[in-house]
Amino acid sequence: MKILIALIFLVPFLNGISQKGDSAFIRSIYDEALLRGEAHENLRSLCKDIGARITGSASADMAIFWSEKLFEKYNFDKVYLQKIRVPHWERGTKESAWFINKKGKIKKLNVLALGGSVPSDGLISSGIIEFKTLEELKKASPKKVKGKIVFLNEKMNAHLINTFKAYGQCYPIRRNGASEASKLGAKAIIIRSLALPVDEHPHTGSLHYQEGIKKIPAAAISTMDADFLSNTLNKSIRGKKNAQTINLELNCRLFSDKDSYNVIAEMKGKLKPEEVITFGGHLDSWDTGEGAHDDGAGVIHCLEALRILKELNYKPIHTLRLVFFMNEENGNRGGEDYASIAFANGEKQIAALESDRGGFAPRGFSCDGTDLQIKFLKQFESLFAPYELHVFEKGYGGVDIGPLKKHYKNIPLFGFVPDSQRYFDFHHSPNDVFENVNKRELELGAASISSLLYLLDLNL
Amino acid sequence: MKILIALIFLVPFLNGISQKGDSAFIRSIYDEALLRGEAHENLRSLCKDIGARITGSASADMAIFWSEKLFEKYNFDKVYLQKIRVPHWERGTKESAWFINKKGKIKKLNVLALGGSVPSDGLISSGIIEFKTLEELKKASPKKVKGKIVFLNEKMNAHLINTFKAYGQCYPIRRNGASEASKLGAKAIIIRSLALPVDEHPHTGSLHYQEGIKKIPAAAISTMDADFLSNTLNKSIRGKKNAQTINLELNCRLFSDKDSYNVIAEMKGKLKPEEVITFGGHLDSWDTGEGAHDDGAGVIHCLEALRILKELNYKPIHTLRLVFFMNEENGNRGGEDYASIAFANGEKQIAALESDRGGFAPRGFSCDGTDLQIKFLKQFESLFAPYELHVFEKGYGGVDIGPLKKHYKNIPLFGFVPDSQRYFDFHHSPNDVFENVNKRELELGAASISSLLYLLDLNL
């Protein structure tokens, strides 16, 4: 009886101590990030010394070298490259579109080929037909579409508070638009960029050609140009719709697969070295802008998270493995191969965490897992309250870590959730540059991830 | 007994209906802001057609006219100007500082006179002495300081998560630095700008001269220049500190007080028109940049909040009074006079709300009030959860609405709380321009304020 009473009093007391200890350690993590952080300078270097780094490019190779050297500089327990095969698509040097109206007035459009697009093989000059949604295009009569360039002008839905939901709704126009237009005999397709603001930047991204359908060239134009084009097309001149032509040239092309690498660093676990917590982002980016938010911020978050734990002399229980994944943007070969190799090697993967939603002010973490795993995450909510994190809920993990679920059914996948409002101002566009990442927001993200890693390691 | 049971079941049921109704109406507020919002365009016009608008300037007069016309265009129940007397300080045309080292090497410093500073009356050329904190300056020997220019290089504390707390800690260097330096015989003072990033923008703001102390010129230099200056001063050349001179010229001056106005619009209450809910921000700004976040965003938030309620055909119970206050930055005469006039007129002021922390993604609301009033605010938390607001706590109301407390002891004052991370990148600097306000973040702020106004009106 006495023992029971002692226990009743002891348990909350111990919890009290532990929470207090956690809280102090987490404060030291945030201090290291905010007062002596290296995230901002490392992101600057990745964006300015390397820049855009699409899979298969020389700059992607450079980014791999850059990452490996930086990991070695930080003197992590183990640094290595994991060989993978990746697709190799190049934008080429010719990429232009002009709009010409009936009177011969000409206007250049801000255009970017979609990733994976076939080339136009010279100049396509053709009439244009607009659709407001993918569904509208699917229902159209082939007669109307045949021989034309389809203009798919679906807007991201500003009603949705989380911009990723709006992106998810609109995403099929980019992924499937070309195949749907091709089925109806279109020569090419241009889509409205997947972006919320109306501005001059086109946003690229990968497309998917359905098997057995003729591949047609596909490109995105800026939202401003999409509005201009739509307004012009819908203007009547003496009762007749304003006839017009689009001239389009793209000489992008797909080369053979080539070798590339995931870049990996580890802090070895002291008690359970064989149990691995994987965390990271993707090192590749699109070939425009500097991949600053997507996903420069994510890889730098995770690197900084590990650097901080090492700097604070934390000795992990499990092995903490940082992965800079290659090829998230147009294939996810890095993520797929990482998971297969881990499984083939008999590794014990106990949790994974990804940052791939930009370098904005932290809101919290989502968990792709069971109710119990989400409850497990939620227990940390109060520890993060002083840092203004408040989202601890069921949700997506990330593209790179996603394939782990194929091999490890019960693994919880955690996604870092920053504020989403500005993400689609920059995503996949020439505007995704270092200057658009705020230093403190980036640092707070890195500290949040470092703190969750610490808590996962301690409590799993 | 039956009645009691019926009531027990009825009360939660009614609450259920009411919450459901509130939740739908709030959704329609956010939709109006996000899908048909006018906040972004109105802020563009205020920033680009008017621009900076320091109290007493022609552009402040223009901003008053602009606001009145816009209120009239929206056809609010009552639009009027409230006459007040305001201070009138002008920066003048000469404002420069150079650093010259022993070898004659010269470097221009990015400088802004502090608001209210006396002029230098020609060029001051003098030795310089650095202090790292205001406390260090206070303890210094007059011998060391006499005849010199004091350089007060206190940094905002990046450790604090809420940047307003860091600002609050550092604020005394700007407010009191000149008087403290003058007491020790300094000729002038330059301070490190109150800003977190290290960049080239100087940040101004008001100072306060203590009674009976000689007024000396005071200016802020950019954080980048402050770091440069500090490094240079602390470099030793052959064992001796690097001697140097600062040349400083400011021809700012204070003119006589002049007439100005608070600009006011009302939606009249249907049931309790004599009970007033005051809400607003300040129309004046500093005379650099465009006053986009400070406080263009705040006035536009509040205007949009009222426009939305009118657009949605909401009939308020109490009178909703929108105030664009004049002179928050260097005197708060608008806020002081508004409160005095309301009280003198026997008005019943039942609550007030202010937005003056920038146009960033909403985090919630703070309440300067009793525990009961804070509890009252907290009851709305779940209604705001879908919009990612999570801060509902005791805290500051705002400078403009603050004086209401002098006359109405029990009035609750609410402050809109957006994310604070980027605010001090822009505050009082040439960098506070329209381009640095994100459209969606601004719109979400306006919708949040409109929603709280609705809830206050319905539940007070």
Phi, psi of B430 (to 5 degrees): -60, -15
Which of A386, A422, A439 is opposite residue B161, by nearest beta carbon?
A386
pLDDT higher than threshold 50 for residue B451: yes
Q: Which chain A positions have a beta carbon within 8 Å of B422's beta carbon?
A: 438, 440-441
Whether residue A440 and residue B419 make contact (CB cut-off 8 A), yes or no, is no
Whether residue B425 and residue A419 make contact (CB cut-off 8 A), yes or no, is no
Arithmetic mean of pLDDT over chain B: 94
Is the minimum CB–CB distance between A435 and chain B shorter than 8 Å?
no
Nearest-CA distance from A27 to chain B in Å?
Answer: 9
- At B412, is the pLDDT very low, low, confident or very high (cuts 50, 70, 90)? very high
Neighbour order of strands in the sheet with A391-394: A78-90, A253-267, A318-325, A272-282, A348-354, A413-418, A362-368, A391-394
Q: Which chain A positions have a beta carbon within 8 Å of B441's beta carbon?
A: 421-422
A-B CB pairs within 8 A amount to: 64
For residues A309 and A450, the answer to whether their CB atoms sit within 8 Å is yes
Q: Which chain B positions have a beta carbon within 8 Å of A196's beta carbon?
A: 439-440
Whether residue B34 and residue A158 make contact (CB cut-off 8 A), yes or no, is yes
Point out the least confidently predicted range of B90-94, B189-193, B334-338, B381-385. Answer: B90-94
Q: What is the DSSP letter of A77?
A: S
For residues B330 and B206, the answer to whether their CB atoms sit within 8 Å is yes
Is the minimum CB–CB distance between B425 and chain A shorter than 8 Å?
yes
Is the minimum CB–CB distance between A196 and chain B shorter than 8 Å?
yes
Is the minimum CB–CB distance between B385 and chain A shorter than 8 Å?
no
Whether residue B388 and residue A419 make contact (CB cut-off 8 A), yes or no, is yes
Is the minimum CB–CB distance between A246 and chain B shorter than 8 Å?
no
Q: Is the dihedral of CA B219, B225, B228, B232 positive or negative?
A: negative
pLDDT at B17: 47
Q: Which chain B positions have a beta carbon within 8 Å of A419's beta carbon?
A: 361, 388, 419
Helix (H, G, I), strand (E, B) or coil at A23: helix
Distances in Å between the Cα of A294 and the Cα atoms of A53, A211, A284, A356, A427 are: 11, 29, 9, 7, 6
Nearest-CA distance from A64 to chain B in Å?
Answer: 30
Whether residue A34 and residue B388 make contact (CB cut-off 8 A), yes or no, is no
- Quick: pLDDT tens for B119-140: 999 999 999 999 999 999 999 9
- pTM score: 0.95
Whether residue A438 and residue B425 make contact (CB cut-off 8 A), yes or no, is yes
First-to-final CA distance of chain B: 31
Q: What is the C-alpha separation between A113 and A314, in angstroms, rounded? A: 46
Nearest chain B residue to A438, by CA: B422
Q: What is the C-alpha separation between B64 and B66, in angstroms, rounded? A: 5
- Quick: pLDDT tens for B301-356: 999 999 999 999 999 999 999 999 999 999 999 999 999 999 999 999 999 999 99
Q: What is the C-alpha separation between B399 and A309, in angstroms, rounded? A: 42
Nearest-CA distance from A230 to chain B in Å?
Answer: 19
Nearest chain A residue to B419, by CA: A361
Nearest-CA distance from B275 to chain A in Å?
Answer: 34
Q: What is the C-alpha separation between B351 and B457, in angstroms, rounded? A: 9
- Quick: pLDDT tens for A346-355: 999 999 999 9
Looking at the DSSP bridge assignments, the partners of residue A81 are: A263
Q: What is the C-alpha separation between B424 and A419, in angstroms, rounded? A: 19
Nearest chain B residue to A442, by CA: B421
Nearest-CA distance from A244 to chain B in Å?
Answer: 30
Residues of chain A with pLDDT under 70: 1-18, 236-243
Whether residue B161 and residue A441 make contact (CB cut-off 8 A), yes or no, is no
Nearest partner of A266 among A309, A312, A328, A327, judged by Cα: A309
- Quick: pLDDT tens for B208-243: 999 999 999 999 999 999 999 999 888 866 666 666
Which of A34, A197, A421 is opposite residue B361, by nearest beta carbon?
A421
Which of A34, A419, A439 is opposite residue B361, by nearest beta carbon?
A419
pLDDT at B53: 98
Which of B363, B390, B439 is opposite residue A197, by nearest beta carbon?
B439
Task: Name all domains of chain B by residue range, CATH numbers in brackets.
Answer: 26-89+256-459 (3.40.630.10), 92-251 (3.50.30.30)
For residues A179 and A210, the answer to whether their CB atoms sit within 8 Å is yes
Is the minimum CB–CB distance between A393 and chain B shorter than 8 Å?
no
Q: Which chain A positions have a beta carbon within 8 Å of B388's beta carbon?
A: 161-162, 363, 391, 419
Which of B30, B197, B387 is opposite residue A439, by nearest beta carbon?
B197
Q: Which chain A positions have a beta carbon within 8 Å of B163's beta carbon?
A: 440
Is the minimum CB–CB distance between A408 and chain B shorter than 8 Å?
no
Which of A158, A439, A444 is opposite residue B35, by nearest beta carbon?
A158
Phi, psi of A141 (to 5 degrees): -80, 135
Q: Which chain A positions have a beta carbon within 8 Å of B35's beta carbon?
A: 158-159
**Side chain identity at A438, as an amino acid letter?**
N
Nearest partner of A189 among A135, A134, A234, A231, judged by Cα: A134
* Burial class, B188, CB count within 10 angstroms (exposed 0-12 / middle 13-18 / buried 19+): buried
pLDDT at B13: 43
- Quick: pLDDT tens for B290-302: 999 999 999 999 9
Is the minimum CB–CB distance between A388 and chain B shorter than 8 Å?
yes
Whether residue A438 and residue B421 make contact (CB cut-off 8 A), yes or no, is yes
Whether residue B419 and residue A422 make contact (CB cut-off 8 A), yes or no, is no
- Residue identified by tokens 């920033």 is B47
Nearest-CA distance from B34 to chain A in Å?
Answer: 6
* Burial class, A189, CB count within 10 angstroms (exposed 0-12 / middle 13-18 / buried 19+): buried
- Residue identified by tokens 């709704």 is A169
Any idea how long chain B is? Answer: 460
Q: What is the C-alpha separation between A194 and A175, in angstroms, rounded? A: 11
**How, if at all, do strands B318-325 and B253-267 pair?**
antiparallel
Is the minimum CB–CB distance between A375 and chain B shorter than 8 Å?
no
